[in-house]
Amino acid sequence: MNAHYVDRFADDLGPEKIVHIYEPKAGLKAIVVIDNLSMGPAVGGCRMASDVSTREVFRLARAMTLKNALSDLPHGGAKSAILEDPAVTNKEDIVRAFAQAIKHLPDYIPGPDMGTDETCMAYIHDEIGRAVGLPHVLGGLPLDELGATGYGLAVAADVASEVIALPLKNARVIIQGFGNVGKAAAHFLTERGATIIATCDRSGAIHDPGGISIPELTEFKKSGQALKHSRLGKVITHDEMLQLESDIFIPSARPDVFTLDNQDWLKTKLVLEGANIPITHEAAELMRVRGIVIIPDVIANSGGVICAATEYQGMSENQAFERIELTISRNTEEVLDRILKQGQFPHAAAIKMAKERLKEAMAFRAHM
């Protein structure tokens, strides 16, 4: 890999490695970015999608570096992507081939992400003895089954609702993406009295201003059918959903949902970034000027990696949830103070918080 290519990504934090994997016999194409190891071996999700770029994987790895530092975890940041449709028939073979391909990267500990789950992590662990988010039967804390990321989003909502005087009871919530994160967030927020008025999957979105029944939608999702066939709300397009008025908006799917081109669509009071990098920094700054409060991804959705790190340290489920609540509450309070009282923009505030902790750790590394 030539220096010019790496320079397009490199800064004072990383990345340490960008690895492209191609194994034609297994039909495997993948990208691994190990961004920064100053806090310890890197933990980061392995997603499976056919349209992920190297730049996107780097941005996701950087988000993990910042997120792990903010969460006071003894781990650096990394991310990987298997370039394949997650519905592929030979998924196990491809995941196992990926595991063998990263065997020589001992500083990277993969976890579940979009398109992968605890079963995939079990395959990787079986091959190389290194993965988090494992099934219960293997002594793991399955992040998706427990809803760790969604629980963390609800904790961030608890804190933010107090600070900005936005009661969660009867709050109108839109969840962009009803996957593992969105589904769990919906569950924990409806427990707090919120009303989910719209959500979506890849096929389209559904909307009911009176509230979508989350237990019914969760049960329907088990059928594998598209949400638009659920009859639990009016079928609308993704773009129409992004323009609906709400009190809380939770992007919990792909990156760059909102950019400079469409940021003015968002009509809400509070954003909890359930996905990684769902709003560009430039768009978020304009939203802040419009009075929208954003809890950045590196804080709001850190419940999953906190749970993963707790598993890696051999701790219990209860300890994981206690750690999630304590960490996300503290970080949400601090970032809101920086945004509302000090006038900082949301992502800049979170990045500054993380870099303060990273720089301290990096000072102890001789090669930094």
Extract the runs of DSSP E, i.e. beta strands, from 223-296: 234-236, 248-251, 270-272, 293-295
- How many other CB atoms are found less than 10 A from the CB of residue 340? 14
pLDDT at 295 over 90: yes
For residue 300, give the 3-state DSSP assignment: helix
Of 89, 111, 135, the last residue of a domain is 135
Q: Total domain count for the chain?
A: 2
- pLDDT band for position 12 (50/70/90)? confident
211 and 351 share one domain: yes
Q: What is the pLDDT of residue 361?
A: 82
pLDDT at 64 over 80: yes
Largest CA distance in the chain: 60
Alpha helices in 139-248 (DSSP H): 143-146, 148-163, 180-191, 214-221, 238-242
Burial of 149 (0-12, 13-18, 19+ CB in 10 A): buried
Q: Please tell me the pTM assigned to this model.
A: 0.92
**Listed range (9-18, 278-287, 310-319) with the worst mean pLDDT:** 9-18
Of 83, 111, 135, the last residue of a domain is 135
Q: Which of 79, 91, 183, 269 is catalytic?
A: 79
Beta bridge partners of 114: none
83 and 173 share one domain: no
User: What is the Cα–Cα distance from 301 to 228, expressed in whole angstroms?
Assistant: 26
- How many other CB atoms are found less than 10 A from the CB of residue 12? 10
For residue 302, give the 3-state DSSP assignment: coil
Is 364 part of any domain? Answer: no
Structure tokens at 282: 């430039």
Q: Contacts from 217-221 at CB under 8 Å and sequence distance 24+?
A: 217/178, 217/186, 218/183, 218/186, 218/187, 221/178, 221/183
Are 348 and 281 in contact by the 8 Å Cβ rule? The answer is: yes
pLDDT at 6 over 70: no
Is 366 part of any domain? Answer: no
Beta bridge partners of 249: 174, 271
Radius of gyration for the chain, computed over Cα atoms and rounded to the nearest angstrom: 20
For 172, the enclosing helix (H) or strand (E) is: strand 172-176
pLDDT in tens, 118-151: 999 999 999 999 999 999 999 999 988 999 999 9
pLDDT at 90 over 70: yes
Of 135, 167, 187, the last residue of a domain is 135
- How many other CB atoms are found less than 10 A from the CB of residue 285? 18
189 and 112 share one domain: no
User: What is the Cα–Cα distance from 35 to 361, expressed in whole angstroms?
Assistant: 15
Quote the distance between the C-alpha of residue 306 and its chain's center.
12
The residue to which tokens 């988000």 are assigned: 63
Mean pLDDT of 279-301: 96
38 and 61 share one domain: yes
- pLDDT band for position 59 (50/70/90)? very high
Is 362 part of any domain? Answer: no
User: Would you state the torsion angle of the CA atoms of residues 189, 192, 194, 198, taken in this order, to the nearest 10 degrees?
Assistant: 20
For residue 22, give the 3-state DSSP assignment: strand
- How many other CB atoms are found less than 10 A from the CB of residue 29? 17
pLDDT in tens, 75-85: 999 999 999 99
User: What is the Cα–Cα distance from 306 to 52, expressed in whole angstroms?
Assistant: 25
116 and 224 share one domain: no
32 and 131 share one domain: yes
User: What is the Cα–Cα distance from 51 to 292, expressed in whole angstroms?
Assistant: 31
Q: What is the pLDDT of residue 144?
A: 85
192 and 294 share one domain: yes
320 and 245 share one domain: yes
- pLDDT band for position 360 (50/70/90)? confident
338 and 191 share one domain: yes
- pLDDT band for position 359 (50/70/90)? confident
For residue 256, the domain's CATH number is: 3.40.50.720
Is 239 part of any domain? Answer: yes
114 and 161 share one domain: no
128 and 186 share one domain: no
| Residue range(s) defining the domain that contains residue 58 | 3-65+75-135
Q: Contacts from 329-334 at CB under 8 Å and sequence distance 24+?
A: 329/155, 329/158, 329/159, 331/70, 331/71, 331/299, 331/302, 332/155, 332/156, 332/159, 332/160, 332/295, 332/299, 332/300, 333/159, 333/163
Is 365 part of any domain? Answer: no
Q: Is 79 a catalytic residue?
A: yes
Is 131 part of any domain? Answer: yes
For residue 31, the domain's CATH number is: 3.40.50.10860
218 and 117 share one domain: no
